[in-house]
Amino acid sequence: LAADGLIGARVGSGTVVLSRPEASPATDALPWRQLFAADTNLSPAIRDIIRAALRQDVIPLAASEPSPDLFPMEEVRALADSIFERQGAEALRYAAVEGLPALREAIARRLADRGARTTADNVVVTAGAQQALSILARCFVEPGSEVAMETPTYLGAIQAFRAQGARLVPVPVDAEGMRVDSLEQTLARRSVRCVVTIPNFNNPTGAVMSLERRLRLLEVTRRYGVPLIEDDVYGETWLESPPPAPLIAGKPADHVIHVGSLSKALFAGLRVGWIAAAPAVAERVALIKQTTDLFCGTFSQWLAARILEEGVFDRHVARVRPVYRRRRDVLVAAIERYAGRYLSVNRPAGGSFLWCRLADGLRARELLPYAGAAGVTFVPGDLFSVAGNDEGGFRVGFSLPPEEVLEEGAKRLGGAIEALASRRGVVSAAIGAPPLV
């Protein structure tokens, strides 16, 4: 208010509302809010989740991030040294917007190993999957364009498409992934510009799309000639058995646009993600990317390429899988123990989070201040909802903290739920079936 000249303060007289905004308020700051372009649905949600994950004084069950204690630091350090020995100053130069050939090759080879007919020419390296989604939104969306998006889904995808002015048409997710029957009705009635799905370990429900649904989804979207964006950032995070082949490995697959990232199975700080798609899409994506950051960091790309080529990635993922499986089981058991009277929780077969559903009468948003006071964070379900209405759901991550901290986090969460429930007069809950999966 002071910056906008609406209130003023004088020593000895306190703060007063000014009858007329002063031309030059206490500072010389411009009234920035009035100068910005129209709000494009910008939201602080992801920033706040990442900030909370970096805090030392709260238990970050809001996070969905691999654990730094498990990073293969010795191997990575040796690779970093060898890059400076072999590539020298080249590793710090400008690079092609599409990405380093070595990294595009390595990504294409991994996709080919999973059954796709992808070559390096189909791949564009992006600053994480978030940039990939944002570029794809720019690629297909004009203000008012309709985009079919599964719900609940990754909040960053909702934001990226809304920021371009998309009108999101929700398609429900169940235990087998996106409801393709519902999508088909949408495609028959509306002019949809693209379809967005997370077939492997949907964020936040952990649902994995069945093979039958995948085949039907490929067929339906092809029949309507609609681009199908598959966000596969969790594809390599399976804990029980590998999920079915990615959609880009299907037939037909020319209309499939595959988004991947190293953030969830390795580490997020490299900011290496990618889009693999038909040559015309790859070309368009590269031109859009060049307007935002010219290209991804050359050194990060060299490191990512060597990590993939030298088997560091595969060894790491195999080594941490049992650790994450245990963390998942510890958190499920602790949540059931400390909060089972008031919620149901799932046990996903991969990803890095559990999806909880509160008993009737309790809302996740209302739980936030209680959890904050208890020193634990989580993500309320409405943020993942395309319609913004999943009020009883919330997500807790199991990948970042070690087992004893997960246990303590669940205990704090349980205490917070007890406090909210007694405030609301919910004595004990009639809990239904676990959510979705």
Ligand X SMILES: Cc1ncc(COP(=O)(O)O)c(C=O)c1O
DSSP 234-248: TTT-BSSSPPSPPGG
Shortest distance (Å) from residue 116 CB to ligand X = 19
Beta carbons of 218 and 228 less than 8 angstroms apart: yes
Shortest distance (Å) from residue 198 CB to ligand X = 5
Compare residues 256 and 421 and give the one whose CB is closer to ligand X: 256
What is the rounded distance in angstroms from the CA atom of residue 117 to the CA atom of residue 353?
31
Counting Cβ atoms within 10 Å, is residue 310 exposed (0-12), middle (13-18) or buried (19+)?
A: middle
Compare residues 275 and 374 and give the one whose CB is closer to ligand X: 275
| CA nearest neighbour of 395 among 374, 380, 414 | 380
Residue type at 313? Answer: F
Helices (H), 89-143: 101-113, 128-140
Shortest distance (Å) from residue 358 CB to ligand X = 22
Give the bridge partners for 17, in sequence order: 7
* Residues at the interface with ligand X (CB under 6 A): 64, 128-130, 154, 156, 198, 203, 231, 233, 261, 263, 268, 273
Shortest distance (Å) from residue 335 CB to ligand X = 20
What is the rounded distance in angstroms from the CA atom of residue 339 to the CA atom of residue 353?
16
Shortest distance (Å) from residue 296 CB to ligand X = 11
Beta-carbon-side half-sphere exposure of residue 79 (alpha carbons within 13 Å): 20
| CA nearest neighbour of 83 among 341, 303, 375 | 303
Beta carbons of 208 and 177 less than 8 angstroms apart: yes
Q: Which residue is nearest to ligand X (CB)?
A: 128
Shortest distance (Å) from residue 308 CB to ligand X = 15
